[in-house]
Structure 1
Amino acid sequence: MKKFDKDRIILAVAGPVLALVVAIALTSVVLLASGHDAFGPFRLMIENAQYADVQVLIINYAGTLYLAALAVAIGFRMNLFNIGVDGQYRLAAMVAAVVGAAVELPGPLHILLIVLVAMLTGAFWAGIAGVLKTTRGVNEVVATIMLNAIATSLIAWLILPENLGVQPEGSNDLTTGEIASSGWFPGLNMGEGGEIYGFTFVAFGLGAVYWFVLNRTRFGFDLRATGASETAAQASGVDAKKMILTAMLVSGAVAGLAGMPILLGDTHTFSLTFPTTIGFTGITIALLGRNNPVGIFFSALLIAFLQKASSSLDQHGYEKEIATIMEGLIVISVVVSYELVRQYGLRRQQQKVGEELAAAARKKHEEVSA
């Protein structure tokens, strides 16, 4: 049994490690082809990551990416591809910012209200795709992609000054107004490095909740069972359509939280400069982390490192897009490496079964001979 567990751990780790190694190798080839030092950017990024302020940036960004990846992973475990996390996250952040700026409550209640509004908004937007899938059979990929585009247009309309937006004096930016200090989530001061958002710790803590619900509750079992085989789950008494809708709602609610570290810990308002593409990056992280909360954690740190530590590459003659190239190569490498690891695992399992059958045959032969 211990040997089996050891093999399972090795196979689980082999995929991400192989993907990372292949991505670094291919990035080095791209650098060489463009006339650059193959390992220069990596050395610079490692040097940049040694500064306290960059470390804080990486941790804060990793918290946001972690929540987006958890939202994607919930869908993956249900065999659903929620590609609409980006729209859900941005719309939720905006609506939560509008509500947060419109009221002023005692600290904990104010923060709780903003968080609940964000979760409900994200769940509502993802729920549209869930309803379309369960009632009309619309593929969730198509529905969520369209909802991303609609969310972008809806945000652009809502943030106009004649609607819900505010244009600060002397600025071309549009915001939703600043949330009162009672709605700010306290962070951890790191001195010269800056402040780690308080909600970042909540984000990482949700990883433990995700693991517990998925592996230690009836809901988690039904979720995984339906994702593995919808017909088999229905035969065992699970309402597959209800689970699909519930999974999309939960995924959307978690996606709605992805903007909270930044909103409650830094900007305290939603504006046109609010980060985008967070949801799409979350897909990369969920794939690389194999939908495991620990794997997603390290994957989020890796992607955050690539994006934040590469900001000064252009000052040394390198393009900052090198990090983006590497992220894309990681996605490609993940698909290839996981398939290679899966095939190796199957061969290894067949080999072990053959060894066990041969051992049993030898034992039976010895007993007969005796």
Structure 2
Amino acid sequence: MKKFDKDKVLLGIAGPALALAVAFVLTTLVLLASGRDPIEPYVLMMETVEFPDVQVLIINQTGAYYLAALAVAVGFRMNLFNIGVDGQYRLAAMLAAVVGANVELPGPLHILLIVLVAVLVGAFWAGIAGFLKTTRGVSEVVSTIMLNAIATSLIAWMILPANLGEQLKGSNDLTTGEIPESGWMTGLAVEGGNIYGFTLVAFALGVVYWFVLNRTRFGFDLRATGASESAAQASGVDAKKMVLTAMLISGGVAGLTGLPLLLGQTHTYSLSFPTGVGFMGITVALLGRNNPIGIFFAALLMSFLEKASGSVIAPDFEKEIAMIMQGLIVIAVVVSYELVRQYGLRRQQQKVGEELAAQARKNKEDVAA
């Protein structure tokens, strides 16, 4: 039975707690510096979250952020920084919508095809960065950023009416055409709206992520290679293969990020489809420390700040206050985790020193006896 490590648990909680506390203090200082009430925005947001429709919006947004963060977390566990989740998710959603709108199949098969297309497109786009890293040593940070820009331009070209898109009469918006009802995914009807069906799938994938990473040989190889590529290679693990595999899985999960909205509400991809979700996934993964439970609460927090901030629109309280809070949380996460990491190292060194000193005393006593 594994021994309970109290210090490890406390340090794991300390990082997010300190980050949130620092973000709260910094936001309060910003509000005070601008001559505004530092408490009222929080009160307004808490009042807004009491409405059932806002709660549904928060849960649905949490599902998208959760998937984006899982995609990022897979890379993090491998010591890879997949910044291209946003491009992977949008390109996958767009092409999945095109296929879904132009194919007619029985319900389950139609949905399965859309999901499969999204996974394959996301994996392919991330796989380009993985291929460049394993064959040419190109940093995945640089390649995924460039692929984001390429994906944006590619989508803008493909969605033109002359190519794969459609333009509705009387509208400037371009779409991929509506997916037939057989490709819609039934959600959970509750007071305040409808929780997307794929949102529930997203949360289930968190369990799959935990199981694969912590209870399978593949997960062990993935974590071992991320911790030390040379050591993993010496033990028989193909490090390059693991890098490419991790990028493919990360991209595949990223491809699913747009499906809660696509299958549950819009049923089409348009120019108004959300952007920036992939970058929010980086924040959520960092705040959740790559743990599926931590990621869930981090995604919930970010969704709350985004959806509840609608109540802050007033002459004295702009909606951007929530964006400031999110930005400060990102800064606080980086600083707080580094402080906690350094404290953890010092604490570990101190414990080792105490154990060595205790062993030395015991050896002296044995010799004296």
TM-score, normalization by structure 1: 0.97
Q: Does residue 1:207 correspond to 2:203, yes or no?
A: no
How many Å apart are 1:50 and its aligned residue?
A: 1.0
What is residue 301 of structure 2 aligned with on the other side? 302
Letter of the aligned partner of 2:269 in structure 1?
F
What is residue 216 of structure 1 aligned with on the other side? 215
Letter of the aligned partner of 1:60 in structure 2?
N
How many Å apart are 1:322 and its aligned residue?
A: 1.0
How many Å apart are 1:354 and its aligned residue?
A: 2.9
How many Å apart are 1:362 and its aligned residue?
A: 4.2
CA shift digits 1:260-306 (9 cap, x unpaired)? 00000010000000000000000000111111111100000000000
Q: 1:324-343, aligned counterparts within 5 Å?
A: 324-343=323-342
**Separation (CA, whole Å) in 1 of partners of 2:367 and 2:140:** 60
3-state DSSP of counterpart to 2:310: coil
How many Å apart are 1:368 and its aligned residue?
A: 5.1
3-state DSSP of counterpart to 2:64: helix
Letter of the aligned partner of 2:336 in structure 1?
S
Q: Does residue 1:348 correspond to 2:347, yes or no?
A: yes
Structure 2's unaligned 5+ residue stretches are none
What is residue 234 of structure 2 aligned with on the other side? 235
Letter of the aligned partner of 1:356 in structure 2?
E
What is residue 273 of structure 1 aligned with on the other side? 272
**Separation (CA, whole Å) in 1 of partners of 2:81 and 2:183:** 33
Letter of the aligned partner of 1:209 in structure 2?
V
What is residue 254 of structure 1 aligned with on the other side? 253
**Separation (CA, whole Å) in 2 of partners of 1:10 and 1:318:** 36
**Separation (CA, whole Å) in 2 of partners of 1:35 and 1:66:** 36
Aligned residues, how many? 369
Query: Is 358-367 or 109-118 further displaced after alignment?
Result: 358-367
How many Å apart are 1:3 and its aligned residue?
A: 7.7
Letter of the aligned partner of 2:306 in structure 1?
Q
Q: 1:149-164, aligned counterparts within 5 Å?
A: 149-164=149-164
TM-score, normalization by structure 2: 0.97
Letter of the aligned partner of 2:179 in structure 1?
I
3-state DSSP of counterpart to 1:310: helix
**Separation (CA, whole Å) in 2 of partners of 1:175 and 1:168:** 8
**Separation (CA, whole Å) in 2 of partners of 1:167 and 1:151:** 21
Report the RMSD for the aligned CA atoms in angstroms: 1.5
How many Å apart are 1:312 and its aligned residue?
A: 2.4
How many Å apart are 1:369 and its aligned residue?
A: 5.4
What is residue 83 of structure 1 aligned with on the other side? 83
3-state DSSP of counterpart to 1:304: helix
Letter of the aligned partner of 1:66 in structure 2?
Y
CA shift digits 1:59-108 (9 cap, x unpaired)? 00000000000000101111111000000000000000000000111111
Query: Is 358-367 or 294-303 further displaced after alignment?
Result: 358-367
What is residue 117 of structure 2 aligned with on the other side? 117
**Separation (CA, whole Å) in 1 of partners of 2:360 and 2:244:** 50
3-state DSSP of counterpart to 1:359: helix
Q: 1:89-128, aligned counterparts within 5 Å?
A: 89-128=89-128
**Separation (CA, whole Å) in 2 of partners of 1:115 and 1:323:** 33
3-state DSSP of counterpart to 1:189: strand
What is residue 32 of structure 2 aligned with on the other side? 32
What is residue 41 of structure 1 aligned with on the other side? 41
How many Å apart are 1:358 and its aligned residue?
A: 3.6
How many Å apart are 1:344 and its aligned residue?
A: 1.4
